[in-house]
Structure 1
Amino acid sequence: MGTVLAKLQETQRLQEEQYMGIREELKTINITLVTIAGVLADMAKTMRETMAHHRATDTSPNDEQPSTSAGASGQEDPP
């Protein structure tokens, strides 16, 4: 009976070690995700500010100008 109890205690100890290791890994992942979210939020803010600046300084009547290049329509101009 003592052998079974010793094996159960060893199994429990190993599971607790695994749990603590997984917990530490999850903390690291969480910190990484929070960092990524912060970077993405900063990028979005910069994009909004840049777009607002471009709209404020844009003097063209249309945002989209028709392109005359061959790649725009996928067809070349006839000879």
Structure 2
Amino acid sequence: MKLTIKYFASIRETIGLAQELVDIDAPHVSISALRDRLIACSPHAAEALDTSRPVRVAVNHEMVANTFVVRQDSEIAFFPPVTGG
């Protein structure tokens, strides 16, 4: 399964990538499992996507929970919570 992974704000800065294509040998994967796989890829990803950090996730431009199941050709975006006024 091919996925487009996008990183924003401080996550992008820590990982050093804005976007990457990931190929996972599975027909589907939950956001939580995908995050674990990405964390295992590098120390920078482990720091940026650490499960103790608040990270928001969108799949195909819609906010989702960690239990959401991703399918082929999805676009997944990881970003820190947004604040402002």
Range into which the TM-score falls when normalised by the shorter chain: under 0.3
Query: Radius of gyration: which is bigger?
Result: 1
The two structures have a TM-score, normalised by structure 2, of: 0.16
Kindly indicate which of the two structures has a greater share of residues assigned to helix.
1
